[in-house]
Structure formats: C-alpha cells, structure tokens
C-alpha cells in the first residue's frame, strides 16, 4: 500500500479489502442514518477523506452507483489501513 499519510492535496481512492455486513456498517457509520440493507463488499471503492492516527486508519466515504453528488455519500466511517488498499491518487481541482 502506498504511504497515504505523506500525500496531501490529493483525492485518494481505495479498494475495500474486508467485507462489512449490514450490522457492522451501521455501527461504524459516521452519518446520521444508513440505508437499510447497506453493506460494504470486498472490491468496493471508497474515497479517503482524512488520514488518522499517523496513517494507521482513514476516514472514508462510499457512494453506491456511479452518480456521485457533491457533499453527499451513502456511508462514511473509519477503516484501518489493513482494511483498504489505495488504488488511485488524483490532484484536486
């Protein structure tokens, strides 16, 4: 995995490496509500929002489907570095 903590001013995407069932997704959700039946699957793509604990965990957001609305996501929570693999880093515009 790339050193995400060293990258600043970038939009980072990562692949989920550990599935999360509906109960765990609801428990770890930082949003006020979770859609019924929501879960994360291995291979789902998330956007890294912030680096925590000197790179040992990350605040990530996830949007199901291809339509991403600005300032909106389906799930937001903290994932450990072992639960994701960074796959892309793009410059912010």
| CATH number for the domain harbouring residue 19 | 2.30.30.40
- State the residue range of the domain holding 84: 4-91
Contact between 11 and 86 (Cβ < 8 Å): no
**For 37-91, what is each residue's pLDDT tens digit?**
999 999 999 999 999 999 899 999 998 876 666 678 899 999 999 999 999 887 6
d(CA 62, CA 73): 6
Whole-prediction pTM value?
0.78
Total tally of structural domains belonging to the chain:
1
Query: What are residue 20's DSSP bridge partners?
Result: 40
Residue 2 structure tokens: 């790339």
Instruction: Please tell me the predicted confidence (pLDDT) of residue 67.
Output: 63
What pLDDT band is residue 2 in, cutting at 50, 70 and 90?
very low
Instruction: Please tell me the predicted confidence (pLDDT) of residue 16.
Output: 97
Helices and strands, number each (H, E), in the chain: 1, 5
* CA 34 to each of CA 12, 48, 52, 55: distance values in angstroms, whole numbers, following the listed order: 23, 19, 23, 26
């Amino acid at each position: 995995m790339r050193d995400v903590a060293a990258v600043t001013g970038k939009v980072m995407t990562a692949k989920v490496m550990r599935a999360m069932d509906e109960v765990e997704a609801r428990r770890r959700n930082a949003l006020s509500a979770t859609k019924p039946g929501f879960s994360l699957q291995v291979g789902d793509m998330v956007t890294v929002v912030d680096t925590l604990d000197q790179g040992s965990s990350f605040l990530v957001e996830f949007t199901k489907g291809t339509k991403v609305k600005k300032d909106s996501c389906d799930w937001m929570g903290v994932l450990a570095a072992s639960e994701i693999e960074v796959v892309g880093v793009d410059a912010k515009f």
